[in-house]
């Protein structure tokens, strides 16, 4: 593994950071998930899936379906679980077939009126309403397939909005790839092609450091 990936980008939990300067960046689960979806090496994919699965277990709170953003919780304003982190968790759980956990996440969102405050487990807190994309993605992954068209529209909109933004597009890409949304991805490919020429350029713009594991995979394509 060390010969294939620059370990300076691997954090204390075995997840991938965007920059060498990162220690345990909060979005490492999302970047790791993106790496898994890009990589064609089965052994490496399984390795990082297992690391992400372990990380998710460590983030579990006392309430079913509610997860901290990180095992290193210090209960300050930066410790809220973000949509990016939740989407990464759900994508991983979907790939490994954790149906029960996926159901518990959507059930928590539903029972708490789409709010998700990991610092106040069980509380309905309208200052912490989860992003619609994460809620709908959670629902579809939990088996509510009637919301699939809505998720498609969300992903398409993410690819169209704010032409120079990369993070929202990559989040939409992660949802589409983890659910194998072929038709939606085809539409988004055309949208991305007009602005960025290809998804590779979106990844290159976001992951600027040439030795980043994701950037290495992209550059090899």
Q: Is the pTM of this model over 0.85?
A: yes
The mean pLDDT of 138-155, rounded to a whole number, is 97
Q: Total structural domains in the chain?
A: 1
Question: What whole-number distance in Å separates Cα of residue 215 and Cα of residue 51?
Answer: 20
Note whether residue 2 is domain-resident.
Answer: no
Q: How far is CA 132 from CA 11, 19, 25, 46, 150, in A?
A: 29, 28, 23, 29, 10
The pLDDT tens digits of the residues spanning 35-58 come to 999 999 999 999 999 999 999 999
pLDDT tier at 75, thresholds 50, 70, 90: low
Note whether residue 118 is domain-resident.
Answer: yes
Note whether residue 1 is domain-resident.
Answer: no
Question: What whole-number distance in Å separates Cα of residue 202 and Cα of residue 29?
Answer: 19
Task: Identify the DSSP state of 60.
Answer: B
Question: What whole-number distance in Å separates Cα of residue 148 and Cα of residue 125?
Answer: 27
The mean pLDDT of 138-150, rounded to a whole number, is 97
Note whether residue 103 is domain-resident.
Answer: yes
pLDDT given at position 4 = 66
Concatenated DSSP letters for 126-187? GGGBPPHHHHHHHHHHTT-GGGHHHHHHHHHHHHHSSTT--HHHHHHHHHHHHTT-HHHHHH
pLDDT tier at 24, thresholds 50, 70, 90: confident
Q: How far is CA 41 from CA 1, 94, 137, in A?
A: 11, 19, 26
Note whether residue 27 is domain-resident.
Answer: yes
Note whether residue 193 is domain-resident.
Answer: yes
pLDDT given at position 77 = 64
Note whether residue 155 is domain-resident.
Answer: yes
The mean pLDDT of 107-124, rounded to a whole number, is 95
Note whether residue 211 is domain-resident.
Answer: yes
Structural domain containing residue 185 = 7-220
The mean pLDDT of 74-100, rounded to a whole number, is 89
């Amino acid at each position: 593994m060390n010969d294939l990936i620059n370990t300076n980008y691997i954090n204390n939990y075995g997840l991938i950071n965007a920059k060498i300067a990162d220690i345990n960046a909060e979005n490492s689960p999302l970047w790791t998930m993106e790496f898994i979806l890009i990589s064609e090496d089965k052994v490496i994919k399984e390795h990082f899936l297992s690391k992400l699965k372990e990380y998710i277990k460590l983030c579990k709170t006392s309430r079913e379906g509610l997860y901290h953003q990180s095992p290193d919780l210090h209960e300050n304003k930066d410790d809220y679980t973000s949509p990016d982190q939740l989407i990464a968790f759900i994508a991983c759980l979907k790939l490994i077939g954790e149906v029960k956990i996926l159901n518990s996440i959507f059930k928590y969102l539903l029972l708490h009126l789409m709010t998700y405050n990991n610092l106040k487990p069980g509380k309905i807190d309208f200052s912490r309403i989860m992003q619609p994309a994460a809620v709908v993605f959670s629902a579809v992954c939990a088996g509510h397939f009637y919301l699939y068209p809505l998720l498609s529209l969300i992903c398409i909109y993410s690819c169209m909005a704010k032409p120079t933004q990369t993070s929202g597009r990559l989040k939409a890409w992660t949802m589409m790839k983890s659910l194998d949304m072929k038709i939606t991805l085809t539409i988004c490919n055309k949208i991305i092609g007009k602005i960025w020429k290809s998804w590779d350029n979106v990844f290159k713009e976001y992951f600027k450091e040439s030795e980043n594991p994701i950037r290495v995979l992209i550059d090899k394509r």
